[in-house]
C-alpha cells in the first residue's frame, strides 16, 4: 500500500484479490485460505466465473468483500485530509499560529489542504494548490486561493509554469507570514524549475528512460533533483532561514523528505534551514491499519516489517511463494514495485502489472 496520497494510497500500493484467484494473479493484501479443503473447492470452480461480472454481482465472494473492507481501513488511516487536520490540531505536530501562507503540492494536495483549512481556519491568508486534477467544486477555503495544474507522470510546460509561480510565491512571503508546505506523491512531476542549461526535453527524456529501465523511485528522484533548482533542498534554501513547517504524505521507502517529491522540501544543501518536517502518513501506517483491522476480526495476519521493492514480476513470484508457505489467513505487504515500461505501453500501472504478473 502506498498513500496518494493520502496517499491515498503512491494510489494504493495494495492490490487486493483472494488467494484462490486464477493462475498468474497475486496481491499485496491477500487472503490465504485456512483449510486445504476450501482451497481445493475454490480452485475447481470454472474459470469463466472470474470474467462473469454479473454472476459475481449476484453472488459476491465474502473474501473479496473482507479484503476491500480491510483496504478501506488502510486508506482511511493515510487520508491526507484527516492526517493533516490532526497534525495541525496538536495530535502530531505544532499548530501554526497566524498569517499562514499555505502551499500544497502533489496528487493529494486538495485533500491535505482541506485538512489544513479545517484545522487552522481564518489563520490561513493565502493558499497555493499545485496538483494533477482540478479540485472539487466544494473546495472552499479562507483567504485567497490559487490553483495550478501540473502534469503527471511526465512533466510538461504546465509543470514549469507551476514551478515559476511557486518560486514567485516564496519570494513574495511577507515578514509576518508563516509558511506551511504540504507535500505528497506526484510533486516531482507536477512542479519544476530547471537549472540553467537544462531543458524540458532533457527532463522528459530522463523520466522516460528511467521508466523504461524500471529504476527505483529514490534513484529517479535523485536524477530529477540534479536538473532542478527547487528539488534536492533547493526550495527550502529559498526560504533563507525563515521558520517554516512541512507536512508529508510519504510514498517513498524510508519516508525520507530528501526523496519525497525529489526533495522539494528536503533539507537545504547550504545555509540555515529552519523547516520543521513531519511525515503524517506513510505506507507503514496503512499496512499497520490493515493488520490491526484484520486482527480485530480474529484473523491470523502476516505483515512483514520490511517494505518490498523491485521488479513487479519477481515480486509477484515471491508473494505467490510466501502465500503457499504461510499459515496466516491474511498477508499484507507494503512498498513499491518497478516496471520496465515499453515504448508503447498498455493501460494500467505498476500495481495492476504486479497483480497480473
First to last CA, the chain: 17
Please give the pLDDT value at position 266.
93
Q: How far, in Å, CA of 187 to CA of 166, rounded?
A: 12
Which segments of the chain does DSSP mark as H helices, in order? Answer: 36-43, 53-58, 62-77, 80-88, 109-120, 157-171, 187-190, 200-213, 217-226, 234-238, 283-296, 312-325, 350-356
* Consecutive H or E run containing 102: strand 100-105
Query: According to the model, what pLDDT value does residue 31 have?
Result: 52
Parse the chain into domains and list their residue ranges. 4-77+284-356, 81-281
pLDDT tens digits for the chain (357 residues)? Answer: 333 333 333 223 333 333 333 322 233 555 554 443 333 333 334 444 334 455 556 677 899 999 999 999 999 999 999 999 999 987 444 544 689 999 999 999 999 999 999 999 889 999 999 999 777 655 655 568 899 999 988 899 999 999 999 999 999 999 999 999 999 999 999 999 999 989 999 888 888 888 888 887 778 888 888 889 999 999 999 999 999 999 999 988 889 999 999 999 999 887 789 999 999 999 999 999 999 999 999 999 999 988 888 899 999 999 999 999 999 999 999 988 888 888 888 787 888 888 888
Q: CB of 187 within 8 A of CB of 153?
A: no
- The number of C-alpha atoms within 13 Å of 288 and in the hemisphere containing its C-beta is 9
CA angle 118, 119, 123 (to 5 degrees): 95
C-alpha dihedral (124, 93, 280, 68), degrees to nearest 10? -90
pLDDT value for 111: 95
The residue among 228, 227, 246 whose CA lies nearest residue 236 is 246
CATH of 81-281, one of 3.30.70.920, 3.10.270.10, 3.40.50.10180, 3.40.640.10: 3.40.50.10180
Per-residue cell: 238 = 529559498
Amino acid at each position: 500500500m502506498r498513500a496518494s496520497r493520502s496517499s491515498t494510497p503512491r494510489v494504493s500500493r495494495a492490490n487486493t484479490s483472494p488467494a484462490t484467484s486464477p493462475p498468474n494473479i497475486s496481491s499485496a493484501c491477500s487472503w490465504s485460505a485456512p483449510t486445504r479443503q476450501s482451497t481445493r473447492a475454490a480452485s475447481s470452480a470454472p474459470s469463466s466465473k472470474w470474467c462473469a461480472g454479473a454472476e459475481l454481482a449476484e453472488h459476491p465472494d465474502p473474501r473479496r468483500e473482507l479484503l476491500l473492507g480491510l483496504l478501506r481501513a488502510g486508506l482511511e488511516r493515510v487520508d491526507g485530509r484527516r492526517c493533516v487536520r490532526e497534525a495541525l490540531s496538536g495530535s502530531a505536530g505544532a499548530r501554526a499560529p497566524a498569517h499562514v501562507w499555505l502551499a500544497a503540492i502533489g496528487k493529494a494536495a486538495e485533500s491535505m489542504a482541506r485538512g489544513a483549512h479545517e484545522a487552522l481556519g481564518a489563520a490561513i491568508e493565502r493558499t497555493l494548490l499545485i496538483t494533477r486534477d482540478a479540485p472539487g467544486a466544494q473546495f472552499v477555503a479562507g483567504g485567497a486561493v490559487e490553483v495550478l495544474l501540473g502534469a503527471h507522470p511526465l512533466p510538461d510546460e504546465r509543470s514549469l509554469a507551476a514551478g515559476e509561480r511557486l518560486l514567485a510565491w516564496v519570494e513574495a512571503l511577507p515578514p509576518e507570514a508563516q509558511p506551511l508546505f504540504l507535500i505528497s506523491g506526484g510533486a516531482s512531476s507536477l512542479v519544476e524549475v530547471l537549472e540553467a542549461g537544462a531543458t524540458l526535453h532533457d527532463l522528459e527524456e530522463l523520466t522516460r528512460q528511467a521508466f523504461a529501465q524500471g529504476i527505483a523511485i529514490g534513484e529517479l528522484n535523485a536524477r530529477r533533483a540534479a536538473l532542478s533548482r527547487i528539488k534536492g533542498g533547493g526550495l527550502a534554501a529559498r526560504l533563507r532561514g525563515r521558520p517554516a513547517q512541512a507536512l508529508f504524505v510519504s510514498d517513498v521507502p524510508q519516508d525520507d523528505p530528501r526523496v519525497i517529491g525529489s526533495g522539494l522540501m528536503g533539507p537545504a544543501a547550504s545555509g540555515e534551514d529552519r523547516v520543521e518536517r513531519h511525515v503524517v502518513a506513510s505506507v507503514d501506517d496503512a499496512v499497520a491499519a490493515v493488520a490491526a483491522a484484520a486482527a480485530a476480526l480474529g484473523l491470523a495476519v502476516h505483515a512483514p516489517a520490511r517494505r518490498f521493492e523491485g521488479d513487479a514480476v519477481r515480486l509477484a513470484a515471491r508473494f505467490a511463494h510466501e502465500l503457499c508457505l504461510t499459515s496466516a489467513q491474511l498477508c499484507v505487504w507494503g512498498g513499491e514495485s518497478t516496471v520496465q515500461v515499453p515504448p508503447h505501453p498498455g493501460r494500467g500501472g505498476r500495481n495492476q502489472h504486479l497483480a497480473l504478473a
